[in-house]
Chains A and B, each alone.
Chain A
Amino acid sequence: MAEVKEALFSKQNKALLSDPLNDNNPISVQVLGICSALAITVQLKPAVVMSLAVLFVVIASNVVVSLIRNLIPGRIRIIVQLLIVASLVILVDQVLKAYAYDVSKELSVFVGLIITNCIVMGRLEAFALANGPWKSFLDGVGNGAGYALILVIVAVFRELLGSGKLFGIEILGHKAKTLAESTGLYSLGYENNGFMLLSPMALVTVGIIIWVQRSKNRKLIEQH
């Protein structure tokens, strides 16, 4: 059987990478993985770490499942996938505990909950079970990056407007007890927006991202 060999970065494969960033974004279009997007985007640092963790888990589990996809009996495939994802998540959790203990504390239960992150299971079911390892790898990178993109955007807004910082660095100046001692914007009477620290505002921010995206990308608007 003479199979036509596909280039490593053919048009199709490139689409696997770029689609989840915009037209098929796991958060803003498929509306998956919302819970973690709401929970850990108060600050940028945990959001970035969380993105990396999910990125790793999606890629690794996609590749592993894709490699053994022909060996998995259809009826127990969910259990097998869960096992793979769970062991990868435990790996990530242990690494975080060893090398980034503070962040791991902040992320607390949400690292463990990557196991139930709909994006991971969704990609396994929808893609890795039917495609080869290289394509699955690209798909994992694309979806992990799509998730990371939204998470980082939301976290930038929430940390900047909610506490005036980015990565814990005071961007907008220092807020002291009195107006005279404050620097930067705070000396003008600026105040942080406490609502940004609450999760409803994360939902609103995701909503605004969806609004902006759909008004730019008209084909995403559902016809009724």
Chain B
Amino acid sequence: MDFLRKKFDEIRKPFNPGGKFEKFAPAINSIDTLMFVPKHNTHKGAHIRDGVDLKRVMVTVIFALLPAMLFGMYNLGYQHFSQLGESTAFLDCMIFGAWKFLPMLLVSYGVGLAIEIGFAIYNKHEVNEGYLVSGMLIPLIMPVDFPLWMLAVSVVFAVFIGKEAFGGTGMNIFNPALIARAFAFFSYAPQMSGDKVWVADASTIDAVSGETILGQLAAGAESSWSVLDMFLGYIPGSVGETSVLAILIGAAILIATGVGSWKIMTGVVIGGAAMGLIFNALGLNALMEFPWWQHLLVGGFAFGAVFMATDPVSGAQTEKGKWIYGILIGFFAIMIRVFNGAYPEGMMMAILLMNVFAPTVDHYVIAGNIKKRKKRLKAA
């Protein structure tokens, strides 16, 4: 690795203080950080137990996302070829999926990081790693045939309005990836919903139907997929959301490293299950009769619970608050699914809604704790 380091140091010379391109130092530093380690050292005598910094947290999330991403790519090819009745060899599916997915990933990272670097240069601070995860999440929660320029516009909106307007990484009140999706959903509804977008080329080839399970149910039809398919992820849907198994692997990584809160994840599942049970008891239409535990397997529920709701910036911070926050997300997600025919998937709305209320939840949890301690003080 040493020769790489030396080579890179040579390249970055003009960017060092006093150099010709000093102003653009954040740009080169971000590449440096990505490849090596962050270029800032501790100056005072700090007592470091573990070198967990923003970059390590973000990279952990990316590792956790990899199974869902890889399976998503495979599933893109699988859905496409199996509906056409062609062979679904693993390699063919992977190559087809990569061909469809990698441009989305490139656009998301390219546009997002360009804006981040622009802001870093303008505001004279270093580029921080916040966008690494958002940039990967955004293509994972989009339908496969979403035009790239629309993706780029959504990313611009998410980074500008969802993030930089509030002050950049760590200051945003909403999850930026979900802002991108919400923007895309309301701006380009025909490309973001319906029965033609969830499988590659469904809009141009008649033999391919791109309907999701929730779409079928909302239309009053029965789901035509087996439970095992739902769990393993052989169903149409946004790129990364289909495989509950792959998402659970990601969840295990997040929980084991302590990056994602297991309280929020469990809370979401409990809330969703509770709401599903209530609707099962009522059982008035196809969506209400859909078994509660299958609700947890389809759509973006698992993906949202593991990767979106656990965002440490926009979620609740207090331990008790995490439970309340998680449970309410699950609760609202299923409620929106069942009651609002216009949004077959409620996870996005539910998380964005609870993002708004997370500070309120935290406030009351803290206020309650203060009250309890005051009482204890009086009693003593």
Contact = CB atoms under 8 A, between A and B. Distances in A.
Interface of A: 189-191, 193-196, 198, 200, 204, 207-208, 211
Interface string B161-189: 10001000000000000000001001111
Q: Is the interface of B mostly helix, strand, loop or mixed?
A: helix
B263 to A, nearest CB: 31
14 contacts: A189-B149, A191-B147, A191-B188, A191-B191, A193-B153, A193-B187, A193-B188, A194-B186, A194-B189, A195-B183, A195-B187, A196-B187, A207-B165, A208-B161
B187 A194 contact: yes
Nearest to B165: A211
B188 A194 contact: yes
A65 B188 CA distance: 49
Contacts of A196: 187
Interface in B145-166: 147, 149-150, 153, 161, 165
B185 to A, nearest CB: 9
B40 to A, nearest CB: 28
Given A193-B187, A195-B186, A195-B187, 4 more contacts: A190-B149, A191-B147, A191-B191, A194-B189
Q: How large is the interface on B (under 10, 10 to 19, 20 to 34, 35 or more residues)?
A: 10 to 19
B187 A204 contact: no
A189 B165 contact: no
Contacts of B150: 191
Contact of A204 (B161, B188, B191): B161
Contacts of B153: 193
Contacts of B190: 191
A208 B161 CA distance: 8
Contacts of B191: 191
A115 to B, nearest CB: 32
A203 to B, nearest CB: 11
Nearest to B188: A191
Contacts of A204: 161
Contact of A189 (B147, B161, B189): B147
A182 B183 CA distance: 25
Contacts of B183: 195
Nearest to A191: B188
B186 A198 contact: yes
A196 B161 CA distance: 14
A193 B185 CA distance: 10
A204 B147 CA distance: 24
A203 B295 CA distance: 35
Contacts of A200: 186
Contacts of A193: 153, 187-188
Nearest to A200: B186
Interface in B84-129: none
The 6 nearest A-B residue pairs measured at CB? A195-B187, A195-B186, A193-B187, A194-B187, A194-B189, A191-B188
B191 to A, nearest CB: 7
A43 to B, nearest CB: 18
A160 to B, nearest CB: 14
